[in-house]
Amino acid sequence: MMYNPLAPVSDTAVIYHEVFNERGFSRLTRSWERYRVALLKFRELALIDSNYDPANPPEINSSGRVSVYHPVQATIEELSIVHDPAYIQFVIEMDEKGEGMFDRNDTPAWRGIYRRAAMAVGATLLGADLIATDRVKHVFNPAGGLHHAQYDRASGFCLFNDIVMAVRRWQKQYGFERIAILDVDGHHGDGTQNLLYHEPILTVSLHMYDGRFFPRTGTLEERGSGKGEGYCLNLPFPRFTTDAEYLKGFDLALEAVERYRPQAIILQYGADGHYTDRMSGLKLSTRAYEYVAEQTHALAHRACNGRLLVVGGGGYEPEVVERCWAILLAQLAGQKTVSAAAYTALHDPLTDMPQPNPDSIAQSSQMLSLAKDVLDSMNLR
Protein backbone atom coordinates (compact mmCIF):
# COMPACT_ATOMS: atom_id res chain seq x y z
CA MET A 1 0.00 0.00 0.00
CA MET A 2 1.22 3.52 -0.85
CA TYR A 3 2.02 5.74 2.09
CA ASN A 4 -0.52 8.54 2.17
CA PRO A 5 0.66 11.46 4.30
CA LEU A 6 -2.84 12.95 4.26
CA ALA A 7 -4.52 9.87 5.72
CA PRO A 8 -5.67 10.61 9.26
CA VAL A 9 -3.72 8.78 11.90
CA SER A 10 -6.04 7.30 14.47
CA ASP A 11 -4.96 5.63 17.67
CA THR A 12 -8.57 5.13 18.76
CA ALA A 13 -11.20 2.74 17.43
CA VAL A 14 -14.85 2.06 18.13
CA ILE A 15 -16.45 -1.27 17.31
CA TYR A 16 -19.95 -1.37 15.93
CA HIS A 17 -22.31 -4.00 14.54
CA GLU A 18 -25.84 -3.36 13.32
CA VAL A 19 -27.12 -6.17 15.58
CA PHE A 20 -26.35 -3.91 18.59
CA ASN A 21 -29.22 -1.71 17.47
CA GLU A 22 -31.71 -4.55 17.50
CA ARG A 23 -33.35 -5.99 20.59
CA GLY A 24 -31.28 -5.67 23.81
CA PHE A 25 -30.87 -7.97 26.81
CA SER A 26 -33.06 -6.07 29.24
CA ARG A 27 -36.79 -5.38 29.02
CA LEU A 28 -36.10 -1.65 29.21
CA THR A 29 -37.07 -1.18 25.56
CA ARG A 30 -36.26 2.53 25.46
CA SER A 31 -32.62 1.79 26.26
CA TRP A 32 -32.19 -0.46 23.20
CA GLU A 33 -31.66 2.49 20.86
CA ARG A 34 -28.63 3.82 22.74
CA TYR A 35 -26.19 2.37 20.18
CA ARG A 36 -27.99 3.93 17.23
CA VAL A 37 -28.28 7.41 18.78
CA ALA A 38 -24.68 7.29 20.00
CA LEU A 39 -23.39 6.43 16.53
CA LEU A 40 -25.34 9.36 15.10
CA LYS A 41 -23.81 11.58 17.76
CA PHE A 42 -20.28 10.36 16.91
CA ARG A 43 -20.99 11.17 13.24
CA GLU A 44 -22.46 14.57 14.01
CA LEU A 45 -19.36 15.47 16.06
CA ALA A 46 -17.13 14.10 13.26
CA LEU A 47 -15.48 11.78 15.77
CA ILE A 48 -16.08 9.04 13.20
CA ASP A 49 -16.46 9.43 9.41
CA SER A 50 -19.59 11.54 8.95
CA ASN A 51 -20.64 9.27 6.08
CA TYR A 52 -20.32 6.04 8.08
CA ASP A 53 -23.27 3.82 7.22
CA PRO A 54 -23.96 1.12 9.85
CA ALA A 55 -26.33 -0.68 7.46
CA ASN A 56 -23.52 -1.14 4.96
CA PRO A 57 -20.37 -1.28 7.08
CA PRO A 58 -16.88 -1.91 5.72
CA GLU A 59 -14.66 -4.14 7.84
CA ILE A 60 -12.65 -1.05 8.77
CA ASN A 61 -13.51 2.60 8.25
CA SER A 62 -10.51 4.76 9.09
CA SER A 63 -11.64 8.01 7.47
CA GLY A 64 -12.60 9.66 10.76
CA ARG A 65 -10.61 10.75 13.78
CA VAL A 66 -11.79 7.49 15.35
CA SER A 67 -11.77 4.35 13.20
CA VAL A 68 -14.81 2.07 13.13
CA TYR A 69 -14.30 -1.70 13.06
CA HIS A 70 -16.92 -4.34 12.26
CA PRO A 71 -16.72 -7.43 14.50
CA VAL A 72 -17.55 -11.11 14.02
CA GLN A 73 -19.28 -13.13 16.71
CA ALA A 74 -17.27 -15.16 19.22
CA THR A 75 -17.22 -18.92 18.55
CA ILE A 76 -18.38 -21.61 20.98
CA GLU A 77 -14.72 -22.58 21.44
CA GLU A 78 -13.85 -19.03 22.43
CA LEU A 79 -16.80 -18.76 24.84
CA SER A 80 -15.75 -22.10 26.41
CA ILE A 81 -12.50 -20.51 27.60
CA VAL A 82 -14.53 -18.65 30.23
CA HIS A 83 -17.91 -20.37 30.42
CA ASP A 84 -19.22 -23.85 31.21
CA PRO A 85 -19.88 -25.61 27.85
CA ALA A 86 -23.19 -26.92 29.25
CA TYR A 87 -24.26 -23.34 29.98
CA ILE A 88 -23.33 -22.20 26.44
CA GLN A 89 -25.44 -25.06 25.11
CA PHE A 90 -28.27 -23.96 27.41
CA VAL A 91 -28.13 -20.43 25.96
CA ILE A 92 -28.33 -21.88 22.43
CA GLU A 93 -31.34 -24.00 23.43
CA MET A 94 -33.09 -21.06 25.08
CA ASP A 95 -32.47 -19.03 21.91
CA GLU A 96 -34.11 -21.80 19.83
CA LYS A 97 -37.06 -21.96 22.22
CA GLY A 98 -37.32 -18.17 22.09
CA GLU A 99 -38.99 -17.79 25.48
CA GLY A 100 -38.43 -18.15 29.23
CA MET A 101 -36.01 -16.41 31.60
CA PHE A 102 -32.26 -16.84 32.04
CA ASP A 103 -32.34 -15.60 35.61
CA ARG A 104 -35.00 -14.95 38.19
CA ASN A 105 -36.55 -11.88 36.68
CA ASP A 106 -34.22 -9.71 34.60
CA THR A 107 -33.06 -11.40 31.44
CA PRO A 108 -35.60 -12.97 29.05
CA ALA A 109 -34.75 -15.35 26.19
CA TRP A 110 -35.68 -14.56 22.59
CA ARG A 111 -34.85 -15.73 19.08
CA GLY A 112 -31.47 -14.25 18.14
CA ILE A 113 -30.19 -13.58 21.64
CA TYR A 114 -27.27 -16.00 21.26
CA ARG A 115 -25.95 -14.16 18.20
CA ARG A 116 -26.40 -10.82 19.94
CA ALA A 117 -24.52 -12.05 23.04
CA ALA A 118 -21.74 -13.73 21.05
CA MET A 119 -21.35 -10.56 18.93
CA ALA A 120 -20.85 -8.41 22.03
CA VAL A 121 -18.03 -10.78 23.06
CA GLY A 122 -16.60 -10.91 19.51
CA ALA A 123 -16.40 -7.11 19.53
CA THR A 124 -14.47 -7.07 22.82
CA LEU A 125 -12.11 -9.81 21.55
CA LEU A 126 -11.47 -7.79 18.38
CA GLY A 127 -10.66 -4.82 20.61
CA ALA A 128 -8.26 -6.94 22.69
CA ASP A 129 -6.50 -8.10 19.48
CA LEU A 130 -6.27 -4.60 18.00
CA ILE A 131 -4.62 -3.32 21.18
CA ALA A 132 -2.27 -6.27 21.71
CA THR A 133 -1.02 -6.08 18.11
CA ASP A 134 -0.46 -2.31 18.43
CA ARG A 135 -2.84 -1.45 15.61
CA VAL A 136 -4.56 1.07 17.92
CA LYS A 137 -3.98 2.17 21.50
CA HIS A 138 -7.57 2.67 22.63
CA VAL A 139 -10.70 0.71 21.70
CA PHE A 140 -14.30 1.28 22.74
CA ASN A 141 -16.85 -1.52 22.42
CA PRO A 142 -20.16 0.07 23.47
CA ALA A 143 -21.88 -3.34 23.54
CA GLY A 144 -19.38 -4.92 25.95
CA GLY A 145 -19.06 -4.75 29.71
CA LEU A 146 -21.36 -7.65 30.60
CA HIS A 147 -19.88 -7.84 34.08
CA HIS A 148 -22.61 -9.81 35.87
CA ALA A 149 -22.23 -12.95 33.70
CA GLN A 150 -20.92 -15.88 35.77
CA TYR A 151 -19.13 -19.12 34.79
CA ASP A 152 -22.34 -21.11 34.40
CA ARG A 153 -25.21 -18.66 34.54
CA ALA A 154 -26.60 -15.41 33.22
CA SER A 155 -27.39 -12.52 35.53
CA GLY A 156 -28.62 -8.93 35.27
CA PHE A 157 -28.83 -8.61 31.44
CA CYS A 158 -25.45 -10.33 31.00
CA LEU A 159 -25.04 -13.71 29.25
CA PHE A 160 -21.30 -13.94 28.54
CA ASN A 161 -18.55 -12.08 30.38
CA ASP A 162 -16.65 -10.34 27.61
CA ILE A 163 -14.32 -8.61 30.11
CA VAL A 164 -12.90 -11.90 31.35
CA MET A 165 -12.84 -13.16 27.74
CA ALA A 166 -10.49 -10.25 26.91
CA VAL A 167 -8.31 -11.07 29.94
CA ARG A 168 -7.97 -14.69 28.76
CA ARG A 169 -7.21 -13.59 25.20
CA TRP A 170 -4.42 -11.30 26.41
CA GLN A 171 -3.01 -13.95 28.75
CA LYS A 172 -3.14 -16.90 26.35
CA GLN A 173 -2.37 -15.29 23.01
CA TYR A 174 -0.12 -12.41 23.97
CA GLY A 175 1.43 -13.45 27.29
CA PHE A 176 0.13 -10.49 29.32
CA GLU A 177 0.37 -11.17 33.06
CA ARG A 178 -0.69 -7.91 34.66
CA ILE A 179 -4.13 -6.74 33.60
CA ALA A 180 -6.15 -4.16 35.54
CA ILE A 181 -9.94 -3.93 35.37
CA LEU A 182 -11.59 -0.72 36.47
CA ASP A 183 -15.39 -0.90 36.70
CA VAL A 184 -17.38 2.33 37.22
CA ASP A 185 -20.83 0.89 36.43
CA GLY A 186 -23.44 1.73 39.10
CA HIS A 187 -23.65 -1.99 39.94
CA HIS A 188 -20.91 -4.20 41.40
CA GLY A 189 -18.91 -6.14 38.77
CA ASP A 190 -19.65 -9.43 40.52
CA GLY A 191 -19.21 -11.82 37.58
CA THR A 192 -15.82 -10.36 36.70
CA GLN A 193 -14.72 -10.45 40.35
CA ASN A 194 -15.83 -14.07 40.87
CA LEU A 195 -14.17 -15.35 37.70
CA LEU A 196 -10.83 -13.74 38.65
CA TYR A 197 -11.03 -13.91 42.46
CA HIS A 198 -8.17 -16.39 42.91
CA GLU A 199 -5.75 -14.79 40.45
CA PRO A 200 -3.39 -11.80 40.66
CA ILE A 201 -5.47 -9.87 38.12
CA LEU A 202 -6.49 -6.53 39.59
CA THR A 203 -10.24 -5.91 39.74
CA VAL A 204 -11.49 -2.57 41.06
CA SER A 205 -15.20 -1.82 41.19
CA LEU A 206 -16.95 1.42 42.22
CA HIS A 207 -20.68 0.97 42.70
CA MET A 208 -23.70 1.61 44.84
CA TYR A 209 -24.08 -0.71 47.81
CA ASP A 210 -26.64 -0.83 50.62
CA GLY A 211 -26.88 -4.57 51.30
CA ARG A 212 -30.02 -4.99 49.16
CA PHE A 213 -29.16 -3.28 45.89
CA PHE A 214 -28.39 -5.67 42.99
CA PRO A 215 -26.24 -7.80 43.00
CA ARG A 216 -25.86 -7.39 46.80
CA THR A 217 -22.08 -7.92 46.71
CA GLY A 218 -19.01 -5.71 46.43
CA THR A 219 -18.01 -4.89 50.01
CA LEU A 220 -14.63 -3.73 51.27
CA GLU A 221 -14.16 -7.16 52.83
CA GLU A 222 -14.03 -8.87 49.43
CA ARG A 223 -10.31 -8.64 48.65
CA GLY A 224 -9.52 -11.76 46.60
CA SER A 225 -8.22 -15.08 47.88
CA GLY A 226 -5.28 -17.45 47.44
CA LYS A 227 -3.00 -16.04 44.74
CA GLY A 228 -5.63 -13.39 44.18
CA GLU A 229 -5.55 -12.07 47.72
CA GLY A 230 -5.05 -8.31 47.72
CA TYR A 231 -5.90 -7.96 44.03
CA CYS A 232 -9.56 -7.04 44.49
CA LEU A 233 -10.73 -3.62 45.62
CA ASN A 234 -14.36 -2.60 46.06
CA LEU A 235 -15.60 0.93 46.69
CA PRO A 236 -19.22 0.55 47.87
CA PHE A 237 -20.90 3.98 47.77
CA PRO A 238 -24.14 4.87 49.54
CA ARG A 239 -27.28 5.96 47.73
CA PHE A 240 -27.28 9.61 46.57
CA THR A 241 -23.50 9.81 46.13
CA THR A 242 -22.61 12.88 44.04
CA ASP A 243 -19.50 13.70 41.97
CA ALA A 244 -17.18 15.06 44.67
CA GLU A 245 -17.31 11.99 46.94
CA TYR A 246 -17.31 9.57 44.03
CA LEU A 247 -14.21 11.09 42.48
CA LYS A 248 -12.30 10.84 45.75
CA GLY A 249 -12.96 7.11 45.51
CA PHE A 250 -12.00 7.08 41.87
CA ASP A 251 -8.63 8.60 42.77
CA LEU A 252 -8.02 5.67 45.13
CA ALA A 253 -8.96 3.30 42.32
CA LEU A 254 -6.46 5.00 40.00
CA GLU A 255 -3.79 4.73 42.67
CA ALA A 256 -4.41 0.97 42.94
CA VAL A 257 -4.13 0.57 39.15
CA GLU A 258 -0.98 2.67 38.97
CA ARG A 259 0.74 0.79 41.79
CA TYR A 260 -0.13 -2.51 40.10
CA ARG A 261 1.87 -1.49 36.98
CA PRO A 262 -0.54 -3.06 34.47
CA GLN A 263 0.40 -4.10 30.94
CA ALA A 264 -3.11 -3.19 29.81
CA ILE A 265 -6.26 -1.70 31.33
CA ILE A 266 -9.93 -2.56 30.81
CA LEU A 267 -12.42 0.15 31.78
CA GLN A 268 -16.07 -0.86 32.26
CA TYR A 269 -17.65 2.54 31.64
CA GLY A 270 -21.26 1.87 32.68
CA ALA A 271 -23.22 5.14 32.67
CA ASP A 272 -26.07 3.99 34.93
CA GLY A 273 -24.65 5.93 37.89
CA HIS A 274 -25.84 9.13 36.21
CA TYR A 275 -28.35 11.11 38.26
CA THR A 276 -31.14 10.71 35.71
CA ASP A 277 -30.69 6.93 35.41
CA ARG A 278 -33.13 5.13 37.68
CA MET A 279 -31.26 1.82 37.58
CA SER A 280 -28.93 2.93 40.38
CA GLY A 281 -29.19 5.38 43.27
CA LEU A 282 -25.93 7.16 42.44
CA LYS A 283 -26.23 10.82 41.44
CA LEU A 284 -23.27 11.36 39.14
CA SER A 285 -23.06 13.92 36.37
CA THR A 286 -21.32 13.92 32.99
CA ARG A 287 -18.44 15.73 34.72
CA ALA A 288 -17.71 12.62 36.77
CA TYR A 289 -17.72 10.53 33.59
CA GLU A 290 -15.44 13.05 31.93
CA TYR A 291 -12.99 12.78 34.83
CA VAL A 292 -13.08 8.97 34.64
CA ALA A 293 -12.39 9.02 30.88
CA GLU A 294 -9.70 11.70 31.06
CA GLN A 295 -7.81 10.23 34.03
CA THR A 296 -7.99 6.61 32.88
CA HIS A 297 -6.75 7.66 29.44
CA ALA A 298 -3.83 9.57 30.98
CA LEU A 299 -3.01 6.66 33.30
CA ALA A 300 -3.01 4.21 30.37
CA HIS A 301 -0.38 6.35 28.64
CA ARG A 302 1.72 6.63 31.82
CA ALA A 303 1.45 2.99 32.80
CA CYS A 304 1.10 0.82 29.71
CA ASN A 305 1.85 2.60 26.44
CA GLY A 306 -1.80 3.66 26.15
CA ARG A 307 -3.28 0.15 26.07
CA LEU A 308 -6.87 0.78 27.10
CA LEU A 309 -9.95 -1.28 26.23
CA VAL A 310 -13.22 0.42 27.18
CA VAL A 311 -16.53 -1.46 27.28
CA GLY A 312 -19.95 0.16 27.54
CA GLY A 313 -21.70 -1.62 30.42
CA GLY A 314 -24.97 -0.26 31.83
CA GLY A 315 -26.74 2.99 31.00
CA TYR A 316 -30.44 3.06 30.29
CA GLU A 317 -31.14 6.67 29.31
CA PRO A 318 -30.01 6.92 25.66
CA GLU A 319 -29.89 10.73 25.73
CA VAL A 320 -27.40 10.56 28.63
CA VAL A 321 -25.49 7.52 27.39
CA GLU A 322 -24.75 9.13 24.00
CA ARG A 323 -23.29 12.18 25.75
CA CYS A 324 -21.16 10.14 28.17
CA TRP A 325 -19.87 7.99 25.30
CA ALA A 326 -19.10 11.03 23.12
CA ILE A 327 -17.17 12.56 26.02
CA LEU A 328 -15.21 9.30 26.32
CA LEU A 329 -14.32 9.18 22.60
CA ALA A 330 -13.44 12.88 22.54
CA GLN A 331 -11.09 12.29 25.49
CA LEU A 332 -9.50 9.19 23.95
CA ALA A 333 -9.07 10.79 20.53
CA GLY A 334 -7.89 14.15 21.88
CA GLN A 335 -10.52 16.62 22.99
CA LYS A 336 -9.48 19.25 20.45
CA THR A 337 -11.03 17.14 17.72
CA VAL A 338 -14.45 18.35 18.90
CA SER A 339 -15.17 22.10 18.91
CA ALA A 340 -15.27 23.68 22.36
CA ALA A 341 -18.94 24.61 22.00
CA ALA A 342 -19.96 21.13 20.84
CA TYR A 343 -17.97 19.57 23.66
CA THR A 344 -19.52 21.80 26.33
CA ALA A 345 -22.96 20.90 25.01
CA LEU A 346 -22.27 17.25 25.89
CA HIS A 347 -22.33 18.13 29.60
CA ASP A 348 -25.34 18.31 31.91
CA PRO A 349 -26.59 21.86 32.44
CA LEU A 350 -25.04 23.33 35.60
CA THR A 351 -28.46 24.57 36.64
CA ASP A 352 -29.69 21.00 36.88
CA MET A 353 -27.05 19.35 39.09
CA PRO A 354 -28.12 17.04 41.93
CA GLN A 355 -27.63 18.48 45.41
CA PRO A 356 -25.16 16.70 47.72
CA ASN A 357 -26.86 14.73 50.50
CA PRO A 358 -25.26 15.22 53.98
CA ASP A 359 -25.98 11.66 55.24
CA SER A 360 -24.60 10.20 52.07
CA ILE A 361 -21.46 12.33 52.33
CA ALA A 362 -20.89 11.19 55.93
CA GLN A 363 -21.25 7.53 54.92
CA SER A 364 -18.97 8.00 51.94
CA SER A 365 -16.20 9.59 54.01
CA GLN A 366 -16.31 6.68 56.42
CA MET A 367 -16.17 4.18 53.56
CA LEU A 368 -13.34 6.05 51.83
CA SER A 369 -11.19 6.08 54.95
CA LEU A 370 -11.63 2.29 55.28
CA ALA A 371 -10.93 1.89 51.56
CA LYS A 372 -7.68 3.82 52.01
CA ASP A 373 -6.62 1.23 54.62
CA VAL A 374 -7.51 -1.60 52.24
CA LEU A 375 -5.49 0.06 49.48
CA ASP A 376 -2.49 0.48 51.80
CA SER A 377 -2.67 -3.21 52.72
CA MET A 378 -2.76 -4.40 49.11
CA ASN A 379 0.39 -6.10 47.96
CA LEU A 380 0.07 -5.42 44.21
CA ARG A 381 3.53 -6.75 43.42
List active site positions.
148
CB–CB of 164/147 below 8 Å?
no
State the minimum distance, in angstroms, from the CB of residue 268 to Zn ion: 9
State the minimum distance, in angstroms, from the CB of residue 186 to Zn ion: 5
SS3 14: strand
Alpha-carbon gap, residue 354 to 350, rounded angstroms: 9
Q: Which is nearer to Zn ion, 200 or 270 (CB)?
A: 270
- Window contacting Zn ion (CB under 5 A); options: 90-98, 175-183, 256-264, 269-277: 269-277
Cis peptide before 215 (omega within 30 of 0): yes
Alpha-carbon gap, residue 187 to 205, rounded angstroms: 9
DSSP for 45-110, written as a single string: TTSS-TT--TTS--SEE-SSSSEEE---PPPHHHHTTTS-HHHHHHHHHHHHHT-SBSSSSS-B--
- Is residue 317 within the footprint of Zn ion (CB under 5 A)? no
Count CA atoms within 13 Å of residue 198 on its CB side. Answer: 2
- Is residue 314 within the footprint of Zn ion (CB under 5 A)? yes
Q: Which is nearer to Zn ion, 270 or 318 (CB)?
A: 270
CB atoms within 10 A of CB 369: 9
- Window contacting Zn ion (CB under 5 A); options: 17-25, 240-248, 262-270, 358-366: 262-270
Restricted to residues 126-165, the positions that interact with Zn ion (CB under 5 A) are none
x/- mask, Zn ion, residues 35-74, rule CB under 5 A, reads: ----------------------------------------
Q: Which is nearer to Zn ion, 191 or 270 (CB)?
A: 270
- Window contacting Zn ion (CB under 5 A); options: 87-95, 181-189, 223-231, 343-351: 181-189
List 185, 277, 290, 348, residue binding Zn ion (CB under 5 A):
185
Distance, C-alpha 32 to centroid of its chain: 17
Alpha-carbon gap, residue 159 to 292, rounded angstroms: 26
State the minimum distance, in angstroms, from the CB of residue 331 to Zn ion: 8
x/- mask, Zn ion, residues 272-291, rule CB under 5 A, reads: x-------------------
- Is residue 243 within the footprint of Zn ion (CB under 5 A)? no
The secondary structure of residue 206, as a DSSP letter, is E
Which residues of this chain interact with Zn ion, rule CB under 5 A?
185-187, 270, 272, 314
